Amino acid sequence: QCFVSYLNLTAYFDTGMLKYFYFLILLCLYVLIILSNVFLIVLICVNRSLHEPMYLFLCSLFVNELFGSTGLFPLLLFQILKHLHTVLVSLCFLQIFCVYSYGCIEFTTLAVMSYDRYLAICHPLQYHTLMTSTKVSVLITLMWCFPFLVITVAFSLSSPLHLCGNIINKVYFINIYELIIGFISMCVPVMLIVYTYMRILKVCFSGSKQTRHKAVSTCTPHLASLINFVFGCVFDIISSGLDMNHVPHTLRIFLSVHFLICQPIFNPLVYGLKMSKIRNTCNNLRSGKHHELNRRAKVQ
């Protein structure tokens, strides 16, 4: 055992002048993530017509995308430009905490959203009675508090351990506690998601065409987001236990942070395009600005 004050991140490699190209691409992605998620958060907050449970859960999801991407991109951009890819242990542990918290919150939020869709589709007449504002507040609180509690417990178990070296080959640590976190934070949400979609499918097969249309229009973005996120998580878990030397180095790095890069971009895109109420609100805002500009032009 030895005391380690800094870590060498072997996942980063020198690319010569290409590092400025990679830096620019990642910076553009980070700016896109911030702008798209902040825009939808503000859109939901300022429009009272979007103050419904589904959109409030979406707002929480977009906040988490900002949290997760901020836990990755600033350090990633800094490391790309550095000649020596080292990081303080305390800063690395902070990034680990942010990354794991983000993943756990994402999964929990998607599970709560599937439960919300289950109530809306399977119990439409009782929906507003079952999904009250108090219940929404409790669910959003649990969506954030439960993951932070789980990660904090696992973090308190792993952080006091002495490191036997200062070289890691991923952006964050992989150890036995990740399996514990994954089991606790994924099993319950997965069971809830599977149960809700089984009930939704049952209603769709036995319901009217209008019910099936409602289910498809509201569940498609959620399913797309869920599949995209699960793909990134599953690959990361699999790659941690398998020999991935045959996979190109750059591709391994990208896939290991897929759920931190693609998910924050994918969610605003899929929900912004697929949710008709969000699209209509955006169109109304554009129409309102257009009419205002025309009115000012006529006055002048």
pLDDT of 297: 44
CATH architecture of the domain formed by 14-277: Up-down Bundle (1.20)
CB atoms near residue 163 (< 10 Å): 15
pLDDT of 277: 79
Give every CB contact of residue 221 below 8 A, 6+ residues apart in sequence: 270, 271, 274, 275
- What average pLDDT values come out for the chain (300 residues) when binned by 10 residues? 62 69 89 94 89 92 94 86 76 84 91 92 89 94 90 76 61 58 75 88 80 80 88 74 64 74 90 79 70 49
Classify residue 225 by burial, with Cβ atoms within 10 Å: 0-12, 13-18, 19+.
Answer: buried
Q: CA 260 → CA 98, 100, 178, distances in Å?
A: 11, 10, 16
Domain regions of the chain by residue span:
14-277
Q: Contact at 8 Å (CB) between 255 and 239?
A: yes
Q: Which two tokens stand for residue 97?
A: 């905490």
Give every CB contact of residue 43 below 8 A, 6+ residues apart in sequence: 50, 278, 281, 282, 285
pLDDT of 90: 78
| Beta strands across the sheet bearing 6-9 | 86-88, 6-9, 167-168
Q: Contact at 8 Å (CB) between 288 and 281?
A: no
Q: Which two tokens stand for residue 223?
A: 């399913």
Distance, in Å, from the CA atom of 93 to the CA atom of 155, rounded to the nearest integer, reads 9
Q: Contact at 8 Å (CB) between 105 and 136?
A: no
pLDDT of 37: 95
pLDDT of 289: 57
pLDDT of 300: 46
Q: Is 300 helix (H, G, I), strand (E, B) or coil?
A: coil
Instruction: With CA atoms as reference, report the closest residue to 170 among 96, 268, 97, 63.
Output: 96
